């Protein structure tokens, strides 16, 4: 073999190698792009599914009749509907209760309106430290100043919308009076009842009775026919399904 | 020829060490990825609780709490799956490592501030029942171990049984080991 042909073949070999390397790099880049694209699509699908399956319901139509009981608990049910019973144990100051209300509150309203469940609200106070304890007591006491079920529910919703942080004094008398009026409470008795915190004792008595009787682990506790629903309560579709199954 | 002489013993040593190391990477991937998948899967069904758990740390402003609460479970699952199958191993391990460091910071901060919460790591709303005690030390130890797993993977990706290798995404060093050197030495 002459020197020249050897050089030529070496050059050709180097060129071929370069070409192969280039192709390989191109393939690698292509694979990378496709991989990232596939992962992005899967990520979007997972996120969409997560949001869709946990979407909150909208309140459709009128609420079922709401009545305030003598002990301060509140019943929302269509006439004659006595089962299944959904008990909601909540503290107006507890952030998880606000989260529950935002997530699943509308589902309970709809189920009651559809005549599929009797929903009972029990407002209690679980906090023992300040400022959360006093915030909770003021709000709960004010709710007991209402006499009309539909006003109570409107007030209940406003309270969660205006929930203060756990480190700040909130639910001030002025706020509570204002929300009460917005909810339809017109009587002058309401203002003095709220400002005088007249129902604190009755509320505390009810609250401690509930806590000791049920040994609640925390709020919110949602019970379906006496069984705690745990995490299910925070997934509207699962909550609805559980209640409908209990009705069968 | 000189290359060969000096290359042989080196590659001999590599052969005894490299497989063991790449198996360690595989095990680290499975542990880290497995934990992430379980943690994400337990939370993703109830994002409202996940949001609540994030809020319990009292570290993030409200809009961010929602984004993290909804996004974290999905991110955990996706990164976990990538680690287990060994796809985009290094970036996945970097994200997992950053997550774990964030968890370590979050739990330490909660501990330092004297808050009593459940970490919400594997679902739940981050609240403790009456009489329940937080397990901050255990949680920190676990997350710190997972940070180590992540760093190992970042340093030595992708390990055995990795999609990266199968797809040729593993980097360019490995294909050109001893075989090429010998092939070029014919003349």
Contact of A188 with A175, CB cutoff 8 Å: no
Say if residue A158 is in the same domain as residue A201.
Answer: yes
User: Of B78, B124, B125, which is closest to A39 when you measure between CB atoms?
Assistant: B78
What is the ipTM score, two decimals?
A: 0.70
Q: Is residue A60 one of the residues assigned to a domain?
A: no
The Cα–Cα gap between A166 and A91 comes to 12
Q: What is the CATH number of the domain that holds A191?
A: 3.40.30.10
Q: Is residue A139 one of the residues assigned to a domain?
A: yes
Q: How many helices (H) and strands (E) does chain B have?
A: 7, 0
One digit per residue, pLDDT tens: chain B, 187 residues? 444 444 444 444 445 566 788 899 999 999 999 999 999 998 888 888 888 889 888 899 988 998 999 899 999 999 999 999 999 999 999 999 999 999 999 999 999 988 888 887 877 777 776 667 788 999 999 999 999 999 999 998 888 898 888 888 876 444 444 444 433 433 3
Residues of A within 8 A of B127 (CB-CB) are 96, 218
Say if residue A133 is in the same domain as residue A194.
Answer: yes
The Cα–Cα gap between B67 and B62 comes to 9
Residue A96 is part of which domain span? 66-247
Say if residue A160 is in the same domain as residue A42.
Answer: no
Say if residue A41 is in the same domain as residue A126.
Answer: no
Residues of B within 8 A of A99 (CB-CB) are 48-49, 51-52, 55, 125
pLDDT mean by block of 10 residues, chain A; 248 residues = 81 92 90 92 90 86 91 92 93 90 94 94 90 92 91 94 88 91 84 89 91 84 90 89 90
| Cβ distance of B46 and A231 shorter than 8 Å | yes
CA B90 to chain centre: 9
Q: Is residue A59 one of the residues assigned to a domain?
A: no
The Cα–Cα gap between B112 and A106 comes to 38
Q: Is residue A58 one of the residues assigned to a domain?
A: no
Contact of A89 with A140, CB cutoff 8 Å: no
Query: A210-237 as b/e, with b when 16 or more CB fall inside 10 Å?
Result: bbeebebebbbbbbbeeeebebbbbbbb
Say if residue A27 is in the same domain as residue A143.
Answer: no
Say if residue A12 is in the same domain as residue A115.
Answer: no
* Total domain count, chain A: 2
Q: Length of chain A in residues, anyone?
A: 248
Partner A contacted by B115 (CB < 8 A): no
| Cβ distance of A231 and B123 shorter than 8 Å | yes
Distance from CA of A36 to the nearest CA of B (A): 9
Say if residue A140 is in the same domain as residue A241.
Answer: yes
User: Of A35, A99, A218, which is closest to B129 when you measure between CB atoms?
Assistant: A218
Distance from CA of A161 to the nearest CA of B (A): 14
Cis previous bond, A131, omega within 30: yes
Q: Name residue, tokens 């990520």.
A: A43
* Total domain count, chain B: 1
Q: Say if strands A74-76 and A66-68 run parallel, antiparallel, or are unpaired.
A: antiparallel
């Amino acid at each position: 073999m002459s020197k020249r042909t050897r050089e030529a073949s070496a050059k050709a070999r180097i060129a071929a190698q370069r070409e192969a390397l280039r192709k390989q790099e191109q393939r690698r880049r292509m694979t990378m792009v496709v991989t990232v694209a596939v992962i992005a699509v899967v990520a979007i699908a997972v996120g969409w599914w997560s949001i869709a399956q946990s979407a909150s319901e909208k309140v459709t139509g009128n609420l079922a009749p709401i009545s305030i009981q003598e002990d301060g608990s509140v019943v929302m049910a269509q006439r004659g509907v006595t089962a299944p019973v959904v008990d909601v144990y909540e503290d107006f100051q507890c952030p998880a209760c606000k989260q529950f209300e935002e997530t699943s509150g509308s589902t309970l309203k709809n189920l009651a309106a559809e005549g599929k469940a009797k929903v009972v609200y029990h407002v209690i106070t679980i906090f023992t430290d300040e400022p959360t304890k006093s915030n909770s007591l003021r709000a709960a006491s004010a709710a007991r100043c209402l006499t009309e079920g539909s006003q109570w529910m409107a007030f209940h919703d406003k309270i969660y919308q205006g929930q203060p942080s756990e480190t700040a004094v909130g639910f001030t008398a002025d706020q509570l009076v204002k929300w009460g009026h917005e909810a339809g409470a017109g009587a002058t008795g309401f203002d003095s009842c709220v400002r005088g915190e007249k129902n604190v004792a009755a509320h505390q008595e009810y609250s401690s009775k509930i806590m000791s009787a049920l040994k609640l682990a925390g709020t919110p506790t949602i019970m379906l026919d006496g069984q705690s629903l745990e995490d299910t309560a925070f997934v509207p579709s699962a909550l609805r399904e559980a209640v409908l199954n209990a009705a069968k | 020829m000189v290359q060969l002489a000096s290359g042989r013993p080196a590659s001999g040593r590599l052969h005894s060490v490299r497989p063991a190391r790449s198996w360690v990477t595989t095990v680290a991937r499975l542990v880290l990825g497995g934990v992430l998948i379980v943690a994400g899967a337990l939370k993703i069904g109830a994002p409202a609780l996940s949001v609540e758990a994030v809020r319990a740390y009292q570290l993030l402003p409200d809009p961010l709490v929602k984004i993290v609460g909804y996004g974290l479970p999905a991110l955990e699952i996706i990164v976990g799956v990538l680690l287990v199958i060994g796809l985009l191993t290094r970036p996945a391990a970097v994200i997992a490592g950053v997550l774990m460091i964030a968890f370590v910071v979050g739990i330490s901060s909660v501990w330092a501030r004297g808050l009593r919460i459940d970490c919400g790591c594997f679902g739940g709303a981050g609240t403790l029942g009456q009489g329940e005690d937080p397990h901050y030390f255990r949680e920190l130890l676990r997350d710190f171990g997972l940070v180590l797993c992540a760093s190992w993977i970042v340093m030595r990706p992708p390990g055995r049984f990795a999609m990266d290798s199968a797809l040729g995404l593993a980097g360019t060093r490995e294909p050109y080991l001893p075989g090429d050197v010998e092939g070029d030495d014919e003349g």
